[in-house]
Amino acid sequence: MGITLSSESQHINSTEQTKKPIRSIPDRISSELLKKNFSQIESYSLKTCFDSICTVSKNGIAHIDEESFVKYLSFTDNIGVGPLIFRSFSYLANYPSLDHTPTLLTFNGLVKAIAIYCDKTKNVIDEDYSKLLFESFATWEDDESCKEFLSLGKDTTTITTIKLPKVKCQDLIDVLTAIVWVTTCEMTTANAESENFMEILSNMISLKNISQIRDAVTPIVYSISKPDTTFITWPKFKSFICRNAPNMFRSWSSFFYGQFFIGQTLSRSHKDSIFFGPPVRSLPALDSKSDLLSPINMAILSWMPLPDHAMNRRQWNRLYTSTKHGFSMSSFSANVFKYHGPTLMLINAVVTDDSIGNNDENDTILLGAYISDPWSSSKAFGSDECLLFEIFPTYESFPATNHNSNYVYYNTSFGIGFGGTDITRKTSRLDNKLSGSFMLQLDNTLQNGTYRNDSLKGSRHAFKLSATRTYFDIPFEVLEIQVFGLGGETAKQRQESERIWEENLSRRKEFRQYNSNTMDKEMLKKGSWHSLIRFPDFSVKFKYLSLLLA
């Protein structure tokens, strides 16, 4: 693994020490990061990790080489992302240099790279860490179009070309495959039984599992790069992640934190921490297995702009499954209503007529909605935290616009609608003319629906229209609907308590009604008209008189 060293400076020979120090600014940045954003135990652990895997250059500089780095991370060969991450670390180690070239991965460079990957740059590095990570994976090429733009009719010989970062599509596919793999490993192993751990681990590193992940992220990458299928520029990538995947790189934090901050101090050997340290932003566990919210889909969903207070929950509770509880509004309301917390709804469907829309050649679709408020009926509800999204075949989110508050509509005679236009009424009745004004709509059988996007209508929608598709109107048949409660265990317990209370109240009312009717009949059997005199209250007299005359 290399020579174990105690400090970076002691490996510089006397000749090197006489030279003028190079890159004093990065050293200052590393020192500030360690001082402001790293605890003592984190600094110690990172230094111990560096010493355990570093080697010494011919010039006597301690650094981590690619072979040791890749071996230490222990990524499976089926992913092949190790060299790409090493290149990224080497580039970030050179920050804030503008020459876009990698450098030796010294301890100071490792501090900067880890700080960026784990988002520990507060008050030291103000740049967008997503941009820094993007550029670290990029290849810098001359952009002749920029030269032409800057010339503005001048002599182009005096204008140099501008180098712009472009990430290869295949490289980004490898990176996202690694991110999803890391996240799914964390989710799966966190709740794994010790006796099944090796079997689960074997499945995680299998070619089949990694191929499934790669198949899931590949269309996402090519949707970003359109129409180019080779490179992705920063403007395209920024536009995509700002709207659809602001948390894409946050999944790295737990993995790299565990590798470099925890692995050397809290375990006797590196093998004890092959995957993960403490959950920096661990994803919630499900209280029951879900095919729709599989680990892969859960990992990809976590990139979206969902509120932290929902994503940071320890557990999500499955409230409703259509194939289990029934395709009906009554079953839906019985299981979802009275849940005092946000919910997540997933709809797996098959397109019944893709000739009228732009849904490529896929016949299945996975849609979803984040509902911020408890469900209610007969009027629109929700807040600007609500979110519509599509996971497959096109990965895209539809944030709230604040144009109106018609985020969610539920009515037993109509069905469920998401994203009404400004002309949608907030009443219990919905005219046929307005029934098509929702972006996502399910009928009251919960078995058929429509998914729409039409920018030509000019209506003020509650959710943003698609950023990549100008028009689609897709009818579908529902295969499965699942609703998850994201309010934590307290919200689930409160729902159960209210349900039990209502059931008990209903039983008490039935019991009282039964006893009341029995008493009435007995009194009438005995009674004469004179028995009414015993009741001073006129309403009671009237009640028994009515029964007697009936």
Mean pLDDT per 10-residue interval, the chain, length 550 residues: 36 38 60 93 92 90 94 86 94 83 89 93 91 90 49 50 82 95 82 67 85 96 92 95 93 84 51 41 83 94 92 91 95 94 97 60 87 90 94 95 89 91 49 66 95 77 89 94 93 84 69 58 51 49 50
Cα–Cα distance for residue pair 517/514, rounded to 1 Å = 5
Predicted local confidence at residue 283, as pLDDT: 82
Amino acid at site 26: P
Q: How far is CA 362 from CA 169, 193, 248, 359, 397, in A?
A: 22, 37, 25, 6, 19
Q: Is the dihedral of CA 87, 89, 92, 97 positive or negative?
A: negative
> Does 144 reside within a domain?
yes
**Looking at 219, 246, 273, which one is the last position of a domain?**
273
Give the pair of three-digit tokens for residue 304: 């979206």
**Looking at 273, 307, 341, which one is the last position of a domain?**
273
> Does 167 reside within a domain?
yes
Which H/E stretch holds residue 417? strand 415-420
Closest CA to 139 of 218, 239, 231, 238: 231
- The secondary structure of 256-296 as a DSSP string is HHIIIIITTTSSSSGGGGSS-SS-SSPPPEESS--STT-HH
Residues 226 and 289 in one domain: no
> Does 190 reside within a domain?
yes
> Does 201 reside within a domain?
yes
Asked if 190 contacts 282 with a C-beta cutoff of 8 angstroms, the reply is: yes
> Within a 10 A sphere around the Cβ of 293, how many other Cβ atoms?
20
> Does 2 reside within a domain?
no
Asked if 535 contacts 544 with a C-beta cutoff of 8 angstroms, the reply is: yes
Beta-carbon-side half-sphere exposure of residue 355 (alpha carbons within 13 Å) = 1
Predicted local confidence at residue 233, as pLDDT: 94
Peptide bond into 393 cis (omega under 30): yes
> Does 279 reside within a domain?
no
Give the pair of three-digit tokens for residue 246: 């602001």
Predicted local confidence at residue 204, as pLDDT: 81
Residues 299 and 153 in one domain: no
Q: Which residue has the tokens 């008050």?
A: 123
> Does 541 reside within a domain?
yes
Domain count within the chain: 3
> Does 33 reside within a domain?
yes
Residues 185 and 293 in one domain: no
Residues 215 and 329 in one domain: no
CATH number at residue 104: 1.10.238.10
Residues 30 and 103 in one domain: yes
Cα–Cα distance for residue pair 143/162, rounded to 1 Å = 6
**Looking at 486, 501, 531, which one is the last position of a domain?**
486
Residues 204 and 346 in one domain: no
Q: Which residue has the tokens 């503005």?
A: 152
Residues 164 and 185 in one domain: yes
Residues 238 and 179 in one domain: yes
Residues 96 and 35 in one domain: yes
3-class secondary structure, 12: coil
Residues 105 and 42 in one domain: yes
Predicted local confidence at residue 274, as pLDDT: 39
Q: Taking each helix axis as running N to C, give the angle between helix 24-37 and helix 107-117, from 0 to 180 degrees, rounded to the nearest 10.
A: 50
Asked if 414 contacts 242 with a C-beta cutoff of 8 angstroms, the reply is: no
Which H/E stretch holds residue 92? helix 82-92
Cα–Cα distance for residue pair 299/387, rounded to 1 Å = 17
Give the pair of three-digit tokens for residue 340: 């005092």
Q: Which residue has the tokens 């993007």?
A: 134
- What strands lie across the sheet with 139-143, from one edge to the other? 139-143, 162-168, 231-233
Peptide bond into 96 cis (omega under 30): yes
Q: Note the Cα 478 to chain centre separation in Å.
A: 23
Whole-number CA gyration radius for the chain: 31
Cα–Cα distance for residue pair 158/337, rounded to 1 Å = 69
Residues 213 and 109 in one domain: yes
Residues 255 and 376 in one domain: no
The residue range of the domain holding 247 is: 9-273
pTM of the model: 0.79
